[in-house]
Amino acid sequence: MESRTIRFIRRGELVSLTNVAPERTLLEVLREDLSATGTKEGCGEGDCGACTVVLAEPHQGTLKYRAINACIRLAHSIDGMALWTVEDLAGADGSLHPAQEALVQSHGSQCGFCTPGFVMSLFGMYQNHVCRGEPVTRELAQEELSGNLCRCTGYRPILDAAQAMAGLPRVQQDEQAILRQLEELALRQEQSGAPGGSSYMAPRALPELLRLRAEHPRAQVVAGCTDVGLWVTKMHQQFAQVLDLTQVRELRQVEHYDHHIAIGAAVSLTEAFVALAEQRPQLKPFFDRFAGLPVRNAGTLGGNVANGSPIGDSMPLLIALGAHVVLLGVRGYREMPLEDFYTGYRQTVLAPDEVVGWIKVPRPVEGEFLRAYKISKRYDDDISAVCLVVAARLVGGVVTQVGIGAGGVAATPVRALQAEAVLRGQPWTADAAQAAAAALREEFRPISDMRASAAYRAEVLGNLMQRFWLETQGHERINLESFRLEEVALP
Protein backbone atom coordinates (compact mmCIF):
# COMPACT_ATOMS: atom_id res chain seq x y z
CA MET A 1 0.00 0.00 0.00
CA GLU A 2 1.17 3.48 -0.79
CA SER A 3 2.78 5.22 2.13
CA ARG A 4 2.55 8.96 2.38
CA THR A 5 5.41 11.21 3.35
CA ILE A 6 5.51 12.60 6.89
CA ARG A 7 6.55 16.24 7.01
CA PHE A 8 7.13 18.29 10.11
CA ILE A 9 9.21 21.20 11.37
CA ARG A 10 12.01 20.59 13.83
CA ARG A 11 14.79 23.02 14.78
CA GLY A 12 13.48 25.41 12.16
CA GLU A 13 13.88 22.89 9.39
CA LEU A 14 11.58 20.69 7.40
CA VAL A 15 11.93 16.99 8.15
CA SER A 16 10.54 14.57 5.55
CA LEU A 17 10.20 10.88 6.22
CA THR A 18 9.06 8.30 3.73
CA ASN A 19 8.16 4.63 4.02
CA VAL A 20 7.07 4.80 7.62
CA ALA A 21 4.66 1.96 8.44
CA PRO A 22 1.32 3.24 9.77
CA GLU A 23 1.72 1.66 13.19
CA ARG A 24 5.21 2.94 13.87
CA THR A 25 5.33 5.26 16.83
CA LEU A 26 6.86 8.70 16.95
CA LEU A 27 9.26 7.41 19.62
CA GLU A 28 10.51 4.62 17.35
CA VAL A 29 11.02 7.02 14.49
CA LEU A 30 12.88 9.49 16.69
CA ARG A 31 15.16 6.93 18.27
CA GLU A 32 15.67 4.51 15.40
CA ASP A 33 15.42 6.62 12.24
CA LEU A 34 16.54 10.06 13.43
CA SER A 35 19.08 8.90 16.05
CA ALA A 36 17.43 11.26 18.48
CA THR A 37 17.92 9.08 21.54
CA GLY A 38 17.40 11.85 24.07
CA THR A 39 13.71 10.93 24.20
CA LYS A 40 13.35 7.78 26.31
CA GLU A 41 11.03 4.82 26.49
CA GLY A 42 10.01 4.19 30.06
CA CYS A 43 6.80 2.22 29.78
CA GLY A 44 5.53 2.25 26.20
CA GLU A 45 2.00 3.06 27.31
CA GLY A 46 1.86 6.76 28.05
CA ASP A 47 1.97 6.39 31.80
CA CYS A 48 5.48 7.48 32.78
CA GLY A 49 6.18 10.47 30.55
CA ALA A 50 9.85 9.69 29.82
CA CYS A 51 9.00 10.00 26.11
CA THR A 52 7.32 13.41 26.36
CA VAL A 53 7.84 15.71 23.39
CA VAL A 54 6.10 18.95 22.46
CA LEU A 55 4.01 19.53 19.35
CA ALA A 56 2.74 22.83 18.04
CA GLU A 57 0.03 23.68 15.57
CA PRO A 58 -1.27 27.04 14.35
CA HIS A 59 -4.20 28.29 16.35
CA GLN A 60 -5.79 31.69 15.85
CA GLY A 61 -2.65 33.26 14.52
CA THR A 62 -0.30 31.87 17.14
CA LEU A 63 1.11 28.49 18.01
CA LYS A 64 -0.66 26.09 20.31
CA TYR A 65 1.82 23.91 22.21
CA ARG A 66 1.03 20.48 23.55
CA ALA A 67 3.23 18.08 25.49
CA ILE A 68 2.38 14.54 24.38
CA ASN A 69 3.69 10.99 24.82
CA ALA A 70 5.81 9.96 21.82
CA CYS A 71 5.66 6.27 22.77
CA ILE A 72 1.99 5.85 21.88
CA ARG A 73 1.78 8.53 19.22
CA LEU A 74 1.66 7.25 15.66
CA ALA A 75 4.45 8.96 13.76
CA HIS A 76 2.18 9.86 10.84
CA SER A 77 -0.10 11.88 13.11
CA ILE A 78 2.44 14.69 13.51
CA ASP A 79 2.41 15.43 9.79
CA GLY A 80 2.07 19.17 9.33
CA MET A 81 3.09 20.09 12.87
CA ALA A 82 6.16 21.49 14.61
CA LEU A 83 8.04 19.17 16.95
CA TRP A 84 10.47 19.78 19.81
CA THR A 85 12.42 17.05 21.52
CA VAL A 86 14.80 17.43 24.44
CA GLU A 87 17.70 17.87 22.02
CA ASP A 88 16.07 20.94 20.48
CA LEU A 89 15.94 23.38 23.38
CA ALA A 90 19.52 24.43 24.08
CA GLY A 91 20.86 27.44 22.23
CA ALA A 92 23.35 27.13 19.39
CA ASP A 93 26.07 28.08 21.89
CA GLY A 94 25.02 25.25 24.17
CA SER A 95 23.23 27.55 26.62
CA LEU A 96 20.41 25.72 28.30
CA HIS A 97 16.75 26.66 27.99
CA PRO A 98 15.19 27.94 31.25
CA ALA A 99 13.30 24.65 31.55
CA GLN A 100 16.65 22.86 31.53
CA GLU A 101 18.67 25.36 33.53
CA ALA A 102 16.06 25.46 36.30
CA LEU A 103 16.16 21.68 36.60
CA VAL A 104 19.94 21.72 36.83
CA GLN A 105 20.01 24.45 39.45
CA SER A 106 17.28 22.77 41.51
CA HIS A 107 19.09 19.41 41.51
CA GLY A 108 16.07 18.04 39.69
CA SER A 109 17.79 15.13 37.99
CA GLN A 110 19.30 12.09 39.64
CA CYS A 111 19.42 9.09 37.32
CA GLY A 112 18.35 11.40 34.52
CA PHE A 113 16.20 8.93 32.62
CA CYS A 114 12.88 10.64 33.29
CA THR A 115 14.55 14.02 32.90
CA PRO A 116 14.05 14.56 29.14
CA GLY A 117 10.33 13.99 29.64
CA PHE A 118 10.18 16.43 32.52
CA VAL A 119 12.16 18.95 30.50
CA MET A 120 9.61 18.73 27.72
CA SER A 121 6.63 19.00 30.04
CA LEU A 122 8.33 22.03 31.59
CA PHE A 123 8.93 23.44 28.12
CA GLY A 124 5.22 23.03 27.37
CA MET A 125 4.41 24.89 30.60
CA TYR A 126 6.95 27.52 29.70
CA GLN A 127 5.33 28.19 26.35
CA ASN A 128 1.76 27.98 27.63
CA HIS A 129 2.16 29.88 30.89
CA VAL A 130 5.49 31.64 31.42
CA CYS A 131 5.58 33.13 27.93
CA ARG A 132 2.03 34.36 28.44
CA GLY A 133 2.95 36.06 31.65
CA GLU A 134 1.09 33.57 33.84
CA PRO A 135 2.71 32.43 37.06
CA VAL A 136 3.57 28.80 37.61
CA THR A 137 2.08 27.96 40.98
CA ARG A 138 2.81 24.81 42.95
CA GLU A 139 -0.65 23.50 42.12
CA LEU A 140 -0.20 24.12 38.41
CA ALA A 141 3.18 22.41 38.46
CA GLN A 142 1.78 19.38 40.26
CA GLU A 143 -1.17 19.21 37.87
CA GLU A 144 0.78 19.60 34.66
CA LEU A 145 3.60 17.26 35.71
CA SER A 146 1.35 14.50 37.00
CA GLY A 147 1.92 12.51 33.82
CA ASN A 148 5.68 12.38 34.37
CA LEU A 149 7.00 9.82 36.82
CA CYS A 150 10.31 10.12 38.62
CA ARG A 151 11.54 7.31 40.84
CA CYS A 152 14.60 9.08 42.26
CA THR A 153 13.93 12.60 43.45
CA GLY A 154 10.60 12.54 45.21
CA TYR A 155 9.65 15.44 42.88
CA ARG A 156 10.24 18.37 45.25
CA PRO A 157 13.24 19.72 43.30
CA ILE A 158 11.39 19.27 40.01
CA LEU A 159 8.41 21.23 41.31
CA ASP A 160 10.85 23.89 42.50
CA ALA A 161 12.33 24.01 38.99
CA ALA A 162 8.89 24.50 37.46
CA GLN A 163 8.42 27.56 39.63
CA ALA A 164 11.96 28.82 39.07
CA MET A 165 11.85 28.82 35.24
CA ALA A 166 10.06 32.13 35.04
CA GLY A 167 12.83 33.83 37.01
CA LEU A 168 15.49 33.01 34.42
CA PRO A 169 16.17 35.15 31.33
CA ARG A 170 13.30 34.65 28.88
CA VAL A 171 13.83 32.50 25.80
CA GLN A 172 11.35 32.93 22.96
CA GLN A 173 10.63 30.63 20.06
CA ASP A 174 10.57 32.27 16.64
CA GLU A 175 6.83 31.73 16.31
CA GLN A 176 6.36 33.79 13.17
CA ALA A 177 8.93 31.76 11.28
CA ILE A 178 7.43 28.50 12.47
CA LEU A 179 3.93 29.67 11.58
CA ARG A 180 5.10 30.52 8.07
CA GLN A 181 6.69 27.13 7.69
CA LEU A 182 3.56 25.39 8.93
CA GLU A 183 1.45 27.41 6.52
CA GLU A 184 3.67 26.30 3.66
CA LEU A 185 3.32 22.74 4.84
CA ALA A 186 -0.45 23.04 4.97
CA LEU A 187 -0.51 24.49 1.49
CA ARG A 188 1.57 21.63 0.24
CA GLN A 189 -0.84 19.16 1.80
CA GLU A 190 -3.81 20.86 0.13
CA GLN A 191 -2.06 20.75 -3.21
CA SER A 192 -1.14 17.10 -2.87
CA GLY A 193 -4.88 16.48 -2.91
CA ALA A 194 -7.23 14.41 -0.87
CA PRO A 195 -5.78 11.26 0.61
CA GLY A 196 -6.83 8.20 -1.28
CA GLY A 197 -6.18 4.68 -0.25
CA SER A 198 -2.81 5.27 1.39
CA SER A 199 -1.89 3.32 4.47
CA TYR A 200 -2.32 6.35 6.71
CA MET A 201 -5.26 8.57 5.89
CA ALA A 202 -5.75 11.86 7.70
CA PRO A 203 -8.56 13.71 5.90
CA ARG A 204 -9.12 17.38 6.64
CA ALA A 205 -12.84 17.64 5.86
CA LEU A 206 -15.83 15.75 7.15
CA PRO A 207 -17.24 14.52 3.79
CA GLU A 208 -13.80 13.15 2.99
CA LEU A 209 -13.64 11.34 6.34
CA LEU A 210 -17.05 9.77 5.84
CA ARG A 211 -16.21 8.68 2.30
CA LEU A 212 -12.93 7.08 3.42
CA ARG A 213 -14.66 5.42 6.35
CA ALA A 214 -17.20 3.87 3.96
CA GLU A 215 -14.60 2.88 1.42
CA HIS A 216 -12.18 1.40 3.94
CA PRO A 217 -14.33 -0.11 6.68
CA ARG A 218 -11.41 -2.23 7.92
CA ALA A 219 -9.08 0.70 8.38
CA GLN A 220 -8.33 1.32 12.04
CA VAL A 221 -10.01 4.54 13.05
CA VAL A 222 -7.86 6.57 15.42
CA ALA A 223 -8.02 9.92 17.16
CA GLY A 224 -5.43 10.68 19.83
CA CYS A 225 -4.26 7.07 19.95
CA THR A 226 -3.84 7.07 23.69
CA ASP A 227 -5.38 3.61 23.81
CA VAL A 228 -4.78 2.38 20.25
CA GLY A 229 -1.12 3.19 20.80
CA LEU A 230 -1.05 0.43 23.40
CA TRP A 231 -2.57 -2.03 20.97
CA VAL A 232 0.59 -1.40 18.96
CA THR A 233 3.20 -1.34 21.73
CA LYS A 234 1.70 -3.96 24.03
CA MET A 235 -0.50 -6.15 21.84
CA HIS A 236 1.86 -5.82 18.87
CA GLN A 237 -0.92 -5.06 16.41
CA GLN A 238 -0.08 -3.95 12.90
CA PHE A 239 -2.49 -2.03 10.74
CA ALA A 240 -2.82 -2.25 6.99
CA GLN A 241 -4.60 1.09 7.05
CA VAL A 242 -5.23 3.80 9.58
CA LEU A 243 -7.90 6.47 9.36
CA ASP A 244 -6.99 9.41 11.58
CA LEU A 245 -9.86 11.83 12.20
CA THR A 246 -7.98 14.41 14.25
CA GLN A 247 -7.37 16.71 11.26
CA VAL A 248 -11.04 16.95 10.26
CA ARG A 249 -11.75 20.63 10.77
CA GLU A 250 -15.50 20.21 11.43
CA LEU A 251 -14.69 17.87 14.32
CA ARG A 252 -11.99 20.04 15.89
CA GLN A 253 -14.39 22.51 17.48
CA VAL A 254 -16.53 22.99 20.53
CA GLU A 255 -19.82 24.52 19.42
CA HIS A 256 -22.03 26.41 21.84
CA TYR A 257 -25.81 26.21 21.55
CA ASP A 258 -28.62 27.44 23.77
CA HIS A 259 -29.21 24.23 25.63
CA HIS A 260 -26.06 22.21 25.01
CA ILE A 261 -22.51 22.32 23.80
CA ALA A 262 -21.35 20.00 21.01
CA ILE A 263 -17.83 18.69 21.35
CA GLY A 264 -16.31 17.43 18.12
CA ALA A 265 -14.68 14.01 18.12
CA ALA A 266 -11.28 15.50 17.30
CA VAL A 267 -11.29 17.88 20.29
CA SER A 268 -8.61 16.95 22.78
CA LEU A 269 -9.55 16.01 26.31
CA THR A 270 -7.72 19.10 27.52
CA GLU A 271 -9.89 21.38 25.43
CA ALA A 272 -13.09 19.47 26.03
CA PHE A 273 -12.49 19.68 29.77
CA VAL A 274 -11.88 23.42 29.56
CA ALA A 275 -15.22 23.81 27.81
CA LEU A 276 -17.02 21.61 30.33
CA ALA A 277 -15.36 23.23 33.35
CA GLU A 278 -16.37 26.67 32.11
CA GLN A 279 -19.95 25.65 32.71
CA ARG A 280 -19.34 23.45 35.73
CA PRO A 281 -16.20 24.67 37.57
CA GLN A 282 -16.57 22.08 40.32
CA LEU A 283 -15.41 19.46 37.80
CA LYS A 284 -11.92 20.91 37.44
CA PRO A 285 -10.26 18.65 40.07
CA PHE A 286 -11.94 15.62 38.49
CA PHE A 287 -10.62 16.58 35.06
CA ASP A 288 -7.14 17.14 36.45
CA ARG A 289 -7.15 13.56 37.66
CA PHE A 290 -7.97 12.17 34.22
CA ALA A 291 -4.71 10.49 33.12
CA GLY A 292 -1.75 12.86 32.86
CA LEU A 293 -1.50 16.05 30.87
CA PRO A 294 0.28 14.47 27.86
CA VAL A 295 -2.57 11.97 27.53
CA ARG A 296 -5.22 14.66 27.93
CA ASN A 297 -3.40 16.72 25.33
CA ALA A 298 -3.39 13.87 22.81
CA GLY A 299 -6.52 11.90 23.62
CA THR A 300 -9.97 13.08 22.60
CA LEU A 301 -13.28 13.01 24.37
CA GLY A 302 -14.74 11.29 21.28
CA GLY A 303 -12.05 8.65 21.48
CA ASN A 304 -12.69 8.00 25.15
CA VAL A 305 -16.39 7.58 24.37
CA ALA A 306 -15.91 5.46 21.24
CA ASN A 307 -13.37 3.25 22.97
CA GLY A 308 -16.06 2.31 25.46
CA SER A 309 -13.82 1.11 28.25
CA PRO A 310 -15.85 0.42 31.41
CA ILE A 311 -13.21 2.30 33.38
CA GLY A 312 -13.03 5.41 31.24
CA ASP A 313 -13.82 8.41 33.42
CA SER A 314 -15.58 10.70 31.00
CA MET A 315 -18.55 8.42 30.34
CA PRO A 316 -19.97 8.28 33.88
CA LEU A 317 -19.89 12.07 33.85
CA LEU A 318 -21.46 12.38 30.43
CA ILE A 319 -24.12 9.82 31.30
CA ALA A 320 -24.99 11.64 34.52
CA LEU A 321 -25.27 14.90 32.59
CA GLY A 322 -27.59 13.31 30.03
CA ALA A 323 -25.16 13.72 27.15
CA HIS A 324 -25.95 12.41 23.70
CA VAL A 325 -23.60 11.03 21.12
CA VAL A 326 -23.96 11.80 17.42
CA LEU A 327 -22.82 9.14 14.98
CA LEU A 328 -21.97 10.10 11.42
CA GLY A 329 -21.79 8.13 8.21
CA VAL A 330 -22.31 8.52 4.50
CA ARG A 331 -25.83 7.23 5.08
CA GLY A 332 -26.60 10.06 7.47
CA TYR A 333 -26.42 10.67 11.17
CA ARG A 334 -28.08 9.32 14.30
CA GLU A 335 -28.14 10.51 17.86
CA MET A 336 -28.70 8.66 21.11
CA PRO A 337 -28.18 8.97 24.85
CA LEU A 338 -24.63 7.91 25.58
CA GLU A 339 -25.63 4.94 27.72
CA ASP A 340 -27.49 3.47 24.73
CA PHE A 341 -24.31 3.57 22.66
CA TYR A 342 -22.82 0.63 24.55
CA THR A 343 -23.91 -2.94 24.01
CA GLY A 344 -21.27 -4.92 25.90
CA TYR A 345 -17.66 -4.95 26.98
CA ARG A 346 -16.01 -2.57 24.53
CA GLN A 347 -18.94 -3.15 22.18
CA THR A 348 -20.96 -0.31 20.73
CA VAL A 349 -23.69 0.24 18.17
CA LEU A 350 -21.21 1.93 15.84
CA ALA A 351 -21.53 0.54 12.29
CA PRO A 352 -18.48 -0.18 10.12
CA ASP A 353 -19.15 2.94 8.06
CA GLU A 354 -19.79 5.25 11.00
CA VAL A 355 -17.69 7.40 13.24
CA VAL A 356 -18.45 9.24 16.45
CA GLY A 357 -18.97 12.85 15.39
CA TRP A 358 -20.04 14.94 18.34
CA ILE A 359 -20.85 14.64 21.99
CA LYS A 360 -23.71 16.89 22.97
CA VAL A 361 -23.64 17.94 26.62
CA PRO A 362 -26.65 19.78 28.09
CA ARG A 363 -25.91 23.06 29.81
CA PRO A 364 -26.45 23.26 33.58
CA VAL A 365 -29.95 23.95 34.76
CA GLU A 366 -31.08 25.91 37.78
CA GLY A 367 -30.74 23.83 40.93
CA GLU A 368 -28.28 21.34 39.51
CA PHE A 369 -26.06 19.83 42.17
CA LEU A 370 -23.24 17.90 40.54
CA ARG A 371 -20.35 15.96 41.98
CA ALA A 372 -17.89 13.60 40.31
CA TYR A 373 -16.06 11.10 42.51
CA LYS A 374 -13.15 8.94 41.56
CA ILE A 375 -11.58 6.22 43.69
CA SER A 376 -8.17 5.00 42.64
CA LYS A 377 -4.96 3.82 44.28
CA ARG A 378 -3.12 6.98 43.31
CA TYR A 379 -4.73 10.39 43.37
CA ASP A 380 -3.38 11.57 40.02
CA ASP A 381 -3.06 9.78 36.72
CA ASP A 382 -4.70 6.53 37.71
CA ILE A 383 -7.56 4.46 36.41
CA SER A 384 -10.67 4.42 38.55
CA ALA A 385 -11.55 1.47 40.69
CA VAL A 386 -14.89 3.21 40.98
CA CYS A 387 -16.12 6.37 39.36
CA LEU A 388 -19.45 7.83 40.40
CA VAL A 389 -21.03 10.99 39.09
CA VAL A 390 -24.29 12.29 40.49
CA ALA A 391 -26.18 15.19 38.95
CA ALA A 392 -29.34 16.01 40.83
CA ARG A 393 -31.69 18.90 40.26
CA LEU A 394 -32.86 19.94 43.67
CA VAL A 395 -35.82 22.27 43.59
CA GLY A 396 -37.62 23.13 46.80
CA GLY A 397 -36.05 20.21 48.61
CA VAL A 398 -37.19 17.74 45.99
CA VAL A 399 -35.14 15.78 43.51
CA THR A 400 -36.87 16.82 40.33
CA GLN A 401 -34.29 15.33 38.01
CA VAL A 402 -31.36 13.02 38.57
CA GLY A 403 -28.60 11.41 36.51
CA ILE A 404 -26.16 8.92 38.00
CA GLY A 405 -23.30 7.55 35.92
CA ALA A 406 -20.94 4.88 37.16
CA GLY A 407 -17.67 3.38 35.97
CA GLY A 408 -15.73 0.37 37.14
CA VAL A 409 -18.85 -1.48 38.22
CA ALA A 410 -20.00 -3.26 35.06
CA ALA A 411 -18.82 -4.33 31.61
CA THR A 412 -19.66 -0.90 30.22
CA PRO A 413 -20.03 2.60 31.60
CA VAL A 414 -23.52 2.58 33.04
CA ARG A 415 -26.42 4.63 34.22
CA ALA A 416 -27.62 3.75 37.72
CA LEU A 417 -31.27 3.48 36.78
CA GLN A 418 -32.46 1.89 40.02
CA ALA A 419 -30.76 4.42 42.24
CA GLU A 420 -32.11 7.21 40.06
CA ALA A 421 -35.62 5.76 40.36
CA VAL A 422 -35.31 5.73 44.15
CA LEU A 423 -34.59 9.45 44.11
CA ARG A 424 -36.57 10.89 41.26
CA GLY A 425 -39.43 13.03 42.47
CA GLN A 426 -38.63 12.36 46.13
CA PRO A 427 -37.85 14.83 48.89
CA TRP A 428 -34.09 15.12 49.32
CA THR A 429 -33.53 13.81 52.83
CA ALA A 430 -30.94 11.75 54.68
CA ASP A 431 -33.26 8.77 54.36
CA ALA A 432 -33.59 9.27 50.63
CA ALA A 433 -29.83 9.45 50.29
CA GLN A 434 -29.46 6.27 52.31
CA ALA A 435 -32.02 4.54 50.17
CA ALA A 436 -30.17 5.63 47.06
CA ALA A 437 -26.89 4.43 48.58
CA ALA A 438 -28.45 1.05 49.29
CA ALA A 439 -29.81 0.88 45.75
CA LEU A 440 -26.41 1.73 44.33
CA ARG A 441 -24.74 -1.02 46.33
CA GLU A 442 -27.29 -3.51 45.01
CA GLU A 443 -27.59 -2.30 41.46
CA PHE A 444 -24.32 -3.62 40.01
CA ARG A 445 -22.25 -6.76 40.23
CA PRO A 446 -18.74 -5.42 39.92
CA ILE A 447 -15.76 -7.71 39.53
CA SER A 448 -12.71 -8.14 41.73
CA ASP A 449 -9.45 -7.28 40.02
CA MET A 450 -6.09 -5.68 40.70
CA ARG A 451 -7.72 -2.31 41.29
CA ALA A 452 -10.21 -3.33 43.96
CA SER A 453 -12.43 -6.12 45.20
CA ALA A 454 -16.06 -6.38 44.21
CA ALA A 455 -17.11 -5.89 47.83
CA TYR A 456 -15.11 -2.68 48.15
CA ARG A 457 -16.50 -1.30 44.92
CA ALA A 458 -20.07 -1.99 45.98
CA GLU A 459 -19.59 -0.52 49.43
CA VAL A 460 -17.86 2.59 48.20
CA LEU A 461 -20.56 3.29 45.62
CA GLY A 462 -23.02 3.69 48.45
CA ASN A 463 -20.59 5.64 50.61
CA LEU A 464 -20.05 8.11 47.80
CA MET A 465 -23.77 8.72 47.67
CA GLN A 466 -23.51 9.44 51.40
CA ARG A 467 -20.78 11.97 50.62
CA PHE A 468 -23.00 13.53 47.98
CA TRP A 469 -25.71 13.96 50.60
CA LEU A 470 -23.29 15.61 53.01
CA GLU A 471 -22.05 17.94 50.30
CA THR A 472 -25.56 19.06 49.45
CA GLN A 473 -25.96 19.88 53.14
CA GLY A 474 -23.06 22.29 53.01
CA HIS A 475 -20.45 20.17 54.78
CA GLU A 476 -16.94 21.09 53.73
CA ARG A 477 -14.02 19.17 55.27
CA ILE A 478 -15.40 15.85 54.12
CA ASN A 479 -13.13 15.36 51.16
CA LEU A 480 -9.34 15.00 51.13
CA GLU A 481 -9.26 17.56 48.35
CA SER A 482 -10.27 20.12 50.96
CA PHE A 483 -6.72 20.11 52.29
CA ARG A 484 -5.01 22.89 50.47
CA LEU A 485 -1.29 23.39 50.49
CA GLU A 486 -1.32 26.59 52.51
CA GLU A 487 -3.46 25.03 55.19
CA VAL A 488 -1.01 22.28 55.94
CA ALA A 489 2.03 24.52 56.09
CA LEU A 490 3.28 25.03 59.60
CA PRO A 491 3.32 28.56 61.01
Partner 1 sequence: MNAPEKFVAGTAAQPAVGQPRIHESARAHVAGAATYVDDVPEVKGTLHAAPILSKVARGRLLSVDPAEALAMEGVREVVLAADIPADPLFATFAHDEPIFARDTVEYAGQVVGVVVAETVMQARRAARRVKLEIEPLPAVLDVREAVKQQSFVLPPVTVRRGEPEQGLARAPHRLAGSLEVGGQEHFYLEGQVGYALPLEQDQWWIYSSTQHPAEVQHWVAHALGLDASAVRVDCRRMGGGFGGKETQAGHIAVWAALAARKTRRPVKLRLDRDDDFLVTGKRHPFAYDYEVGFDDEGRILGLKLVLAANCGWSADLSGPVADRAVFHVDNAYFLSDVEIVSYRCRTNVQSHTAFRGFGGPQGMIVTEAMLGDIARALGKDPLDVRKTNLYGIEDRNLTHYRMPVEDNILHPLIARLEQDAAYRRRRAEIAQWNAANPVLRRGLALTPVKFGISFTATFFNQAGALVHVYTDGSVQVNHGGTEMGQGLHTKVCQLVADELGVPFERVRISSTDTAKVPNASATAASSGTDLNGRAAQFAARQIRERLAGYVAEKQGCRPEQVIFAHGQVSGPEAVMSWEQLVDDAWRSRVQLWSDGFYRTPKIHYDKATLSGRPFYYFAYGAACTEVAIDTLTGENRVLKVDILHDVGHSINPALDIGQIEGGFIQGMGWLTTEQLVWTGQGELATHAPSTYKIPATGDVPGHFRIALWPEPNREDNVGGSKAVGEPPFMLAISVWEALRDAVAAARGDGRAKLDAPATAENVLKALRA
Applying the rule CB under 8 A, the residues between 144 and 173 that interact with partner 1 are 145-146, 148-159
380 lies in the site for partner 1, by CB under 8 A? yes
Site residues (CB under 8 A) for partner 1, limited to 93-122: 96, 99-101, 103-105, 107, 109-116, 119
Which residues lie below 8 Å from residue 83, measured CB to CB, with a gap of 6+? 8, 9, 10, 15, 53, 54, 55, 56
Q: Does 187 bind partner 1 (CB under 8 A)?
A: no
- Is 44 or 316 the residue whose CB approaches partner 1 more closely? 44
- Selected from 163, 334, 438, 456, the binder of partner 1 by CB under 8 A is 456
State the pairing for strand pair 254-256/260-264: antiparallel
What number of chain residues touch partner 1 (CB under 8 A)? 96
Instruction: Pick the stretch among 136-144, 197-205, 240-248, 342-350 that binds partner 1 (CB under 8 A).
Output: 136-144
Alpha helix stretches (DSSP H) within 2-149: 26-28, 98-105, 115-128, 138-144
Query: Of 409-448, which residues contact partner 1 (CB under 8 A)?
Result: none
For position 399 contacting partner 1 by CB under 8 A, the verdict is no
202 binds partner 1 (CB under 8 A): no
Q: How far apart are CA 112 and CA 147, in angstroms?
A: 16
Q: Tell me whether residue 73 or residue 467 sits nearer to partner 1 (CB atom).
A: 467
| Minimum CB distance to partner 1 smaller for 354 or for 382 | 382
Q: Given 3-state DSSP classes, what are the helix, strand and coil percentages for the chain, each rounded to the nearest 5?
A: 40, 20, 40
CA-nearest of 19, 116, 39, 27 to 72 is: 27
Q: Which residues from 264-293 bind partner 1, rule CB under 8 A? A: 292
451 sits near partner 1 (criterion: CB under 8 A): yes
377 binds partner 1 per the rule CB under 8 A: yes
Instruction: Measure the CA–CA gap between 381 and 291, rounded to whole angstroms.
Output: 4
Binding mask 35-54 for partner 1 (x = CB under 8 A): xxxxxxxxxxx-xx-x----
Q: How far is the CB of 109 from partner 1 (least distance, A)?
A: 4
Interaction of residue 295 with partner 1, rule CB under 8 A: no
Asked if 304 touches partner 1 (CB under 8 A), the answer is: no
- By CB under 8 A, tell whether 75 contacts partner 1: no
To partner 1, the closest distance from the beta carbon of 71 in angstroms equals 10
By C-beta, is 32 or 255 nearer to partner 1? 32
Residues 209-238: x/- map of binding to partner 1 (CB under 8 A)? ------------------------xx-x--
Helix boundaries (H) for 368-475: 417-423, 430-443, 454-472
Alpha helices in 251-335 (DSSP H): 269-279, 284-288, 293-298, 301-307, 314-320
Nearest to 244 by CA among 280, 269, 219, 264: 219
Indicate whether 460 belongs to the interface with partner 1 (CB under 8 A). Answer: yes
Contact yes or no for 86/99 (Cβ under 8 A) = no
Closest separation between CB of residue 89 and partner 1, Å? 8
- Residue closer to partner 1 by CB (options 332, 491) is 491
Q: Which of 262, 280, 256, 270 is nearest to 59 (CA)?
A: 270
CB environment 143-169: b (16+ within 10 A), e (fewer): bbbbbbbbeebebebbbbbbbbbbebe
DSSP state of 388: E
